[in-house]
Amino acid sequence: MDGITKDSIKTAKLMKQLWPQLTDKEAIDEVKKYTNGKNTAIFTEVEGDTIVGLALCSLRFDYVEGCKYSPVGYLEGIIVDEEYRLKDIAKNLCKKCEEWAKNKGCKEFASDCTLTNTDSIRFHLNIGFQEANRIIHFKKKL
């Protein structure tokens, strides 16, 4: 199956909760991209044999709203399966992303969400991000 593992299939399933418009193949391709990329990383939280949390991050070398340095570590997406929420899994996954970015030489870490995603806004603010603009980009020092 072209390097597709059981874990990448499980991860792709959770990724589709984050981005439901993806086909199964597109989700698996995204998992491979983040797993194998030089400037990307993927972190998961596992309970038993189930992947219950997922965070995707990258290095961005272009302008990132509100940031002064380059590259910027960027939280591209984060999701925790509904029954595992409110257990600090997302917070811990984000910390792993921040540490990865710091190890890549980043001085800042950023993210974004839509204006209407109040759960995401609350999450970002609760873990130390600061709002950079009403487009809802977030940043914090590493």
- Output the pTM of the full model: 0.88
87-141 pLDDT, tens digit per residue, is 999 999 999 999 999 999 999 999 999 889 999 999 999 999 999 987 667 899 9
Residue 4 has pLDDT above 80, yes or no: no
The domain limits of the chain are 6-141
Gap between the Cα atoms of 53 and 77, Å rounded = 11
Gap between the Cα atoms of 18 and 12, Å rounded = 10
| Token pair recorded at residue 132 | 């950079």
Q: What is the CATH number of domain 6-141?
A: 3.40.630.30
